[in-house]
Amino acid sequence: MAVADSIAHNFSHQFLRFRHGFLFDHLSRKAVEHGIESVMIDILGKTVHPSALDTPVFRHVIAELHSCFHGCLDSQSLHRDIVEAEIYIDPADFPRRRCVCTLRDRLGYRHSQTVEIESANEHMHWTRR
């Protein structure tokens, strides 16, 4: 399902640029502060793991990020096909802006894309896996 790969790629860009990179910066900084080695955001469940990162700031913006994701799905008529959507961040990469978006469709297939950008406001640089 090439469309799901495209959504994973595009949503990675959206996440990294979301609110001019604020959420990515917030989670990465908090993770570094607490010695957390990896961060996973469950977009559909509106949660972040580990739970130490479930801050009032995260709770405030996750609903908007969730809506953005559904907008991506709706634009491709895939709202019923994707049953899992996760964003992974490695805090050791910070301040580099890189994440992995992994989607699982209703048939159990995983679609994963790694994206890196130079900054939340500059020209994009990305790699596909």
What are the domain boundaries of the chain?
2-117
Q: What is the pTM of this model?
A: 0.86
Q: Please state, as a whole number, how many other Cβ atoms lie within 10 Å of the Cβ of residue 123.
A: 7
pLDDT in tens, the chain (129 residues): 588 899 999 999 999 999 998 899 999 999 999 999 999 999 999 999 999 999 898 998 999 999 999 988 888 877 678 999 999 999 888 888 999 999 999 999 999 999 999 866 654 444 444
Which residues on neighbouring strands pair with residue 103, listed in sequence order?
Answer: 85, 111
Q: Which residue has the tokens 């050791």?
A: 92
Burial of 99 (C-beta count, 10 Å sphere; 0-12/13-18/19+):
buried
